[in-house]
Amino acid sequence: MPGEPQTDVVTGAFSYSGAAIARDLLAAGHRVRTLTGHPGRAPAGTRIDVQPLDFTDPDALRRSLQGARTLYNTYWIRFRHGGMTHETAVANSRVLFQAAADAGIQRIVHVSITHADSGSPYPYFRGKGEAERHLKAAGVPCAIVRPAILFGGGDVLVNNIAWLLRRLPVFAISRAVIVPAPGWLIPPLSAVLGAMLRDVLLTREEYQAMAAGLADSGAPASGRTSLTDWVTEHGDSLGRGYASELDRHYR
């Protein structure tokens, strides 16, 4: 109907990056529908239409996507956990992209990562590269966003680094920065702290990928807010509470 607001779909609109996308879409006057693996986490009175993100039911995914113009996809997993692997996430992404194509979605905006490469030795980056390949093969016009880091209120990475700095007398960093520490020491230290916190702080593969420079980009900055400026502005509140990755996505 002419004059009706556009409907867009966001995967994980009650998660971190998905919540930011949904918030901006609502502010722009769009209708927002979410596909989420945690429909029970929808806040009371939400303006967002909540639908399950069930990769085992492609027909239900297609129906949930029908009538929408754009799909904003933030779905991914950070590390292997239980039966979930990066290969599983790639297969799930392919199902989602095909469902979007079948539903008549006009555009997909996909959140990837710097240096996504299907030939990468690191499963996270290799999986992201494979997901991009399946997206391009789906035949839907798309935009692929490759951020180096997502930051803002409620994030896990920056907040938990600040949380550790507030509590630990020693903080290990790599040889490329001011105070050197042997690289081999960082993953086992992270594993010990993770066990104490009943969470996963940093996997060995994540450390190796960062040490290889895959968290950096040589491209000009495309964001409008500097990370250092943001940390300076929010330093007093950063790290006051711990953000559990496992609580957010698996428990």
Give 27's contacts (C-beta < 8 A, 6+ positions apart).
none
* pLDDT means over runs of 10, the chain (251 residues): 84 92 96 93 91 96 97 94 92 98 98 95 96 97 92 79 81 56 82 88 86 82 83 87 83 70
What is the reported pLDDT for 177?
A: 44
HEC assignment per residue over 222-243: CCCCCHHHHHHHHCCCCCCCCC
**Sign of the dihedral through C-alpha 245, 248, 249, 251:** positive
Taking the C-alpha atoms of residue 91 and residue 78, their distance in angstroms, rounded to an integer, is: 15
Q: Looking at the domain that runs over 7-145, which CATH code has it been given?
A: 3.40.50.720
What is the reported pLDDT for 1?
A: 53
Q: Per-domain residue ranges for the chain?
A: 7-145, 157-249
The position carrying tokens 């938990």 is 160
Letter string b/e over residues 68-80, b meaning 16 or more CB atoms within 10 A of that residue's CB = bebbbbbbbbbbb
Task: Find the length of the chain.
Answer: 251
Taking the C-alpha atoms of residue 155 and residue 65, their distance in angstroms, rounded to an integer, is: 28
Burial of 93 (0-12, 13-18, 19+ CB in 10 A): buried
- Which candidate, 30, 33, 10, 29, places its Cα nearest to that of 21? 10
